[in-house]
Amino acid sequence: MLAGGAVLTAAAVGGAAWAAAGSTSPAPPVRRSPRPAPSTAGPDDPVWASTTRWPPRGSLAGDPGVAALVATAGNLSRLLYAADAGPLRVVVATDPQVDEPLSSVVRVWSGPAGTDVTGLTVAELGYNGIYDRQDLVAVALPSSGGALVVTLARPDVDGAEVSLAVRPLPDGRIERAWQAVPMTEGVGVVRLERAAGPASRLRMAGYDGPLPHVDPVRNGEDLVAAAIADVAACVDVAVGRLAVRTTRFPLPEGAMQEMMGSPAAGTLDVTAVTTPGGGVVRFASYRTGSAESYAAFTDQPLVVPARERDAPFVLQLGTDVEGRPRTIVTSPAQAATVQVLGVDGQVLSRPTRLVGRLAVVTLTTSPADGSDLRIVVRAADGRVVRDAVHVDGRPLYDLSPEGALF
């Protein structure tokens, strides 16, 4: 935060270099922010090893009303920071976790700067924790169409980086733009013009993972519409600028028994989303049962090379009653059968007839080395329509250097 209460502002993209995931490009220089209200613990004090022992920081840390507010969250909640952070009044607390002792669950209250503490509201965080680290906390809050990012760490941490969106590329890779968050005595506040979304990520003091943030509430949307909205939020593009194609396949009775606990027939919707930059994101939605009683869920969205946009969709299920692995495979309209092989040509299934362009394939054996599957699609006359190794894709959320979901 600048002198006089102004907030450092970083443009959504301007001035920030997009870097491919895994890039070793140097980070932007870290600018120092003004001194926050000092704590009584020096940077080498062992209290900084765990947020459960941190002294509170910020200009409102000693406000009795703030203490009363945090107490409403439970006797074990601990105040970490309270201040007018630019346009917002922010109170940050944490809860000790019995099941995850090396993690911090973040609790946040906020409102316009200067709001009486009793008028602050709880921020409903979609992702609310820093996991596997107990010595830092961060949060991104909505602020006039953008995001106010608050980062907290031990006093000798002088900077962090955040990335609020991803850019899928036509070759299946993912790029990110990183914004610097200057920190003084372990406290950083910066306002970004871009809103935080499901792909928001933080790099600070050796941590590289999800950034806790507020997710929009999407009541009443169907599974596909909600997933498309998530994709739009991840890539920071309006839904109307995405090219979307959804193909529906019938699921026979028993197809999803292992995954959904329901033997009922249903539907599989495979959606391919093409971004303005030519990147392709695919996801699947499943529904079984009736309108009155049903089970439904959506897979995580995956970035695939653009050439794989219309490739067969493959879902590896559990095993049947005889212990044989089962796999769902979809296919082009002109296909009659699908067969699953190993990448080395090992035969894993017999050719299986497609019904409604979908087959539930029972594998005679699992791949010898657990490797990828090769899908062979044939027309009714035996002609091979497609013979290629299935590409799983990379998680669109891109919440870690390895691309794994947390």
pLDDT at 310: 93
Residue 352 has pLDDT above 80, yes or no: yes
276 secondary structure, DSSP code: T
Q: Is residue 11 predicted with pLDDT exceeding 70?
A: no
Does the pLDDT value for residue 41 go beyond 90? no
**pLDDT at 40 (0 to 100):** 58
pLDDT digits (tens, 9 = 90+) for 301-319: 999 999 999 999 998 887 7
Window from 66-75, 95-104, 260-269, 284-293 with minimum mean pLDDT: 95-104
Structure confidence at residue 325 (pLDDT): 87
Residue 53: band (very low, low, confident or very high) from pLDDT cuts 50, 70, 90: very high
pTM, to two decimals: 0.83
**How would you classify the pairing of strands 325-330 and 358-362?**
antiparallel
Q: Assign 33 a pLDDT band (cuts: 50, 70, 90).
A: very low
* Predicted pLDDT at 326: 87
Mean pLDDT calculated for residue range 56-65: 97
Reply yes or no on whether the pLDDT at 188 is more than 60: yes
Residues 6+ apart with CB under 8 A from 126: 198, 213, 214, 215
Classify burial at 3, counting beta carbons within 10 Å of its beta carbon; exposed 0-12, middle 13-18, buried 19 or more.
exposed
Within the chain, how many helices (H) and strands (E) appear? 3, 31
Name the H helices within 57-137: 64-71
Asked if residue 219 has pLDDT above 90, the reply is no
Among the ranges given (21-25, 156-160, 217-221), the one the predictor scored with the smallest mean pLDDT: 21-25
Confidence of residue 99 (pLDDT cuts 50, 70, 90): low
Average pLDDT over residues 133-145: 94
Average confidence (pLDDT) over 252-260 = 75
Residue 193 has pLDDT above 80, yes or no: yes
The pLDDT score that the predictor gives to residue 10 is 38
- Residue 101: what pLDDT? 61
From the number of C-beta atoms within 10 Å of its C-beta (0-12, 13-18, 19+), residue 94 rates as: buried
Instruction: Please provide the average confidence, as pLDDT, over all residues in the chain.
Output: 85
Among 65-79, 168-182, 257-271, which stretch is predicted with the lowest mean pLDDT? Answer: 257-271
Burial class from Cβ neighbours inside 10 Å (0-12, 13-18, 19+) for residue 97 reads middle
pLDDT digits (tens, 9 = 90+) for 380-402: 999 999 999 999 899 999 999 87
pLDDT of residue 214: 93
In this predicted structure, the answer to whether residue 186 has a pLDDT above a threshold of 70 is: yes
Residue 235 is predicted with a pLDDT of 97
Q: Does the pLDDT value for residue 18 go beyond 60?
A: no
Residue 153 to residue 209: CA distance in whole angstroms: 15
Mean pLDDT on 150-162: 97
CA-closest candidate to residue 312, choices 331, 293, 285: 331
**Strand positions, DSSP E, 193-321:** 201-204, 207-210, 213-214, 243-251, 266-274, 280-289, 294-298, 302-304, 314-319
- Is 8's pLDDT higher than 80? no
